């Protein structure tokens, strides 16, 4: 029998990653193409039911990981999608775009660096040219590099993490809101790190704290335009971000095993929450952060 995202099963054994090796490493930014073991983005399971029919979505970091799973789910729910990614991630972007098109979506890729304000403005401009409007904005691009000692955390890394995770979100959102009609939805990817910051992720965790506050403040600011703003806080999710310096190599084999469900999450397990927040089903939900943490809950 074909399984889909609705198939009832024990969440602890839904993915068997605990028994496989996950200690490979790769350069930053990581690629799904060489992620070992592979992640599940819902390619073979996510079934849509027109929950986003006709919507126009821009997703940053949409080539891989959580962004890829969200893009696939949006496409199968009937949305047209632009994904943004870094030029070095062209192979992942192409794979994702092929899946989106095969799902019946009009889909485009726009490469570029969200830590550059000029690029953020042009990303929104080109997205509007392709899509006609922006009904859904997912600010999901993120940089995470583990540094154990404060001494070793450089100004360059600190600034680049903030520019990517926080400033890029601000620049893209500011440009996009002008093109968003009432009923539109903004979804920011924050993190459990916003609430339970780890030593070694000082720059990253504090950007996620900023994203959480930005989300709640922006929600109150733009509800006068009929736009809702929410965040998703993932726990430990198996993506290239972790294998490319997001975690120290020695922690990778046990990555995600300390949460109550006892395993890392897969990108596919995030997508339904983004679909819910994007769609009109969540009409009374704004300024909210939804945790998808394997039980390592938000406060």
What are the phi and psi torsion angles at 82 (to 5°)? Answer: -110, 130
Q: Which of residues 74-103 bind Mg ion (CB under 5 A)?
A: 89
Size of the site for Mg ion (CB under 5 A): 3
> In what order do the strands lie in the sheet containing 136-139?
107-111, 80-85, 56-60, 136-139, 185-189, 228-234, 289-292
Find the part of the chain contacting ligand NAD (CB under 6 A) among 4-12, 42-50, 56-64, 146-154.
56-64
With CB cut-offs between 5 and 8 Å by kind, which of ligand NAD, Mg ion, none does residue 229 bind?
none
* Catalytic positions: 204
Residue 37: is the preceding peptide bond cis (ω within 30°)?
Answer: yes
Residue 250 half-sphere exposure, CB side, CA atoms within 13 Å?
1
Residue of this chain nearest to Mg ion (CB atom) = 64
3-state secondary structure of 290: strand
DSSP-derived letter for residue 194 is G
Under rule CB under 6 A, residue 95 binds ligand NAD:
no
Size of the site for ligand NAD (CB under 6 A): 30
Single residue of 42, 58, 64, 166 touching Mg ion by CB under 5 A: 64
Helix 168-177 to helix 117-131 angle (10° resolution) is: 40
Cβ proximity to Mg ion: between 59 and 180 the closer is: 59
Q: Where are the alpha helices (DSSP H) in the chain?
A: 65-76, 90-102, 117-131, 155-162, 168-177, 202-222, 240-241, 271-278
CB of 165 to Mg ion, least distance (A): 14
With CB cut-offs between 5 and 8 Å by kind, which of Mg ion, ligand NAD, none does residue 237 bind?
ligand NAD
Under rule CB under 5 A, residue 243 binds Mg ion:
no
With CB cut-offs between 5 and 8 Å by kind, which of Mg ion, ligand NAD, none does residue 231 bind?
none
Residue matched to tokens 């704004």:
286
Under rule CB under 6 A, residue 65 binds ligand NAD:
yes
Under rule CB under 6 A, residue 241 binds ligand NAD:
yes
Distance CA 48, CA 45 (A): 10
With CB cut-offs between 5 and 8 Å by kind, which of ligand NAD, Mg ion, none does residue 188 bind?
none
Q: Which of residues 188-207 bind ligand NAD (CB under 6 A)?
A: 189, 191
* 178 contacts 97 by C-beta, under 8 angstroms: no
CB of 226 to ligand NAD, least distance (A): 26
Q: Which of residues 280-299 bind Mg ion (CB under 5 A)?
A: none
Under rule CB under 5 A, residue 63 binds Mg ion:
yes
Distance CA 119, CA 31 (A): 22
Residue 29: is the preceding peptide bond cis (ω within 30°)?
Answer: yes
Q: Which residues bind Mg ion (CB under 5 A)?
A: 63-64, 89
Point out which residues bind ligand NAD (CB under 6 A): 29-30, 60-61, 63-67, 85-86, 89, 113-115, 140-144, 164, 189, 191, 234, 236-237, 239-242
């Amino acid at each position: 029998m074909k399984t889909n995202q609705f198939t009832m099963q024990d969440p602890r054994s839904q993915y068997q990653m605990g028994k496989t090796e996950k200690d490979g490493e790769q350069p930053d930014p990581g690629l799904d193409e060489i992620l070992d073991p592979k992640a599940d983005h819902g390619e073979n399971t996510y079934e849509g039911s027109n929950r986003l029919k006709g919507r126009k979505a821009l997703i940053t970091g949409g080539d891989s990981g959580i962004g890829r799973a969200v893009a696939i789910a949006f496409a199968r729910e009937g949305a047209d999608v632009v994904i943004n990614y870094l030029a070095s991630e062209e192979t992942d972007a192409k794979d994702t775009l092929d899946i989106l098109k095969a799902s019946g979506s009009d889909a485009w890729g726009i490469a570029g660096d969200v830590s550059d304000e000029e690029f953020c403005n042009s990303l929104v401009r080109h997205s509007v040219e392709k899509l006609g409007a922006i009904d859904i904005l997912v600010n999901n691009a993120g940089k995470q590099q583990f540094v154990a000692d404060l001494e070793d955390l450089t100004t360059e890394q600190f600034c680049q993490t903030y520019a990517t995770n926080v400033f890029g979100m601000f620049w893209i959102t500011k440009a996009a809101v002008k093109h968003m009609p009432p009923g539109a939805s903004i979804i920011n990817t924050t993190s459990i790190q916003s609430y339970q910051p780890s030593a070694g992720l000082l720059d990253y965790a504090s950007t996620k704290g900023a994203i959480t506050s930005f989300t709640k403040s922006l929600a109150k600011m733009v509800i006068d335009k009929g736009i809702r703003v929410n965040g998703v806080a993932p726990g430990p999710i198996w993506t290239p971000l972790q294998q490319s310096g997001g975690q120290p190599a020695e922690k990778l084999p046990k990555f995600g095993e300390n949460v109550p469900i006892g395993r890392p999450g897969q990108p596919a397990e995030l997508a339904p929450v983004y679909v819910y927040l994007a769609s009109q089903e969540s009409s009374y939900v704004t300024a909210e952060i939804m945790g998808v943490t394997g039980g390592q809950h938000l406060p």
